[in-house]
Amino acid sequence: MVGACGLGGLADHTYLWTQASAQSHALLRHWLGHYMEQGVRLATHASVHLEPSQSDRELELALEALAAHQVRNVTVLERGMNSSGLAARLRNGVNTFLGLLPEDAWLIWADVDEFFTWPCNVAQMLKQTRLSAACGRMSDRLAQG
């Protein structure tokens, strides 16, 4: 992507959180690779809440993708939770994670079909402007065919 340089000096302070379905194991693997390339330290700075599908194999593949990218903070949710229960679990999960982060932390909260990038000078921009939020670009990745 043009102008996409990764997190640079912000990597120590940037965390990643998502809730994903095990059915999306192939996209999850790609998503993890993207954020690793952006500079997110997946082993220590990522949290994934994984919704199991009805297929044990899909769950196994999703867990393999997380292990391959060294994601240690993984929560496997209960099977068969209704959508209102999942919404509450999502909200509680991200709020709990936010509460554990250092005060100077930045959080990327992205679904597995959301691939954010930042301008090359994002760290400098944030330091100069003393902003508490930044906008990024997102590219949806769709398979051809």
To 5 degrees, how large is the angle CA 36–CA 1–CA 118? 60
| pLDDT value at residue 124 | 80
Closest among 30, 14, 26, 13 to 114, alpha carbons compared: 30
- Dist. CA 139–CA 145, nearest whole Å: 18
Q: Which residue has the tokens 């939770």?
A: 81
Mean pLDDT value across residues 1-9: 65
Query: Considering the entire predicted model, what is its pTM?
Result: 0.84
More confident residue, 115 or 26: 26
- pLDDT tens digits for range 28-52: 999 999 999 999 999 999 999 999 9
**Helix, strand, coil proportions of the chain in percent (round to 5)?**
45, 20, 35
- pLDDT tens digits for range 57-114: 999 999 999 999 999 999 998 887 666 677 777 888 889 999 999 988 989 999 998 8
Q: Which residue has the tokens 């954010």?
A: 116
pLDDT higher than threshold 60 for residue 2: no
